[in-house]
Amino acid sequence: MSVYEFSVKDQKGNQVSLENYRGKVLLIVNTATGCGHTPQYKGLEELYEKYKEQGLEILDFPCNQFFHQAPGSDEEINQFCSLRYNTQFPRFKKVEVIGDKAEPLFIYLSSQNEDHKYKRVKWNFTKFLVDREGNVIARFEPKDKPEKFEQEIVDALK
């Protein structure tokens, strides 16, 4: 199994197959606009601009499960990120990442790092690095700023 077997909804509710990203290095992130980690959008956008031509895609999944830190509509969240952080990477429909209504993609991602301390997503801005074959190769916790794991992205792009 790989991430390519999943479909997710874009901001307008249309199904998008992750097969569309085959051959790319993916950084899949659950985000929130009112979180202490929200300034990481700046670092994520910097990574995206620096490496998108080499095959990096950042997939942003807003999530309101942790202290309701992403309360707006999908459009409001997109406007906030675009205007405040000038984000250009794809943003998807708001999802749940834990519990009975969790997005299947995040259940899968969370299950892929057996040696990781947390089996489930702990908080906003948990990041999963996926190689060009669709395999989860690293997980970064909310406090891990984008500049901290840039080298892992560079290595995955090779």
- Strand extents, DSSP E, the chain: 7-9, 15-17, 25-31, 56-62, 127-130, 136-140
Catalytic residue among 18, 27, 29, 35: 35
What 3-state DSSP class applies to 42?
helix
The rounded distance, in Å, linking the Cα atoms of 87 and 84 is 8
Closest to 74 measured CA to CA, from 9, 127, 27, 18:
9
Is 81 an active-site residue?
Answer: no
For residues 44 and 87, the answer to whether their CB atoms sit within 8 Å is: yes
**Beta strands at 136-140 and 127-130: parallel, antiparallel or unpaired:** antiparallel
Contact 94, 64 (CB under 8 A): yes
Asked if 56 and 88 touch (Cβ cutoff 8 Å), the reply is no
Catalytic annotation, residues: 35
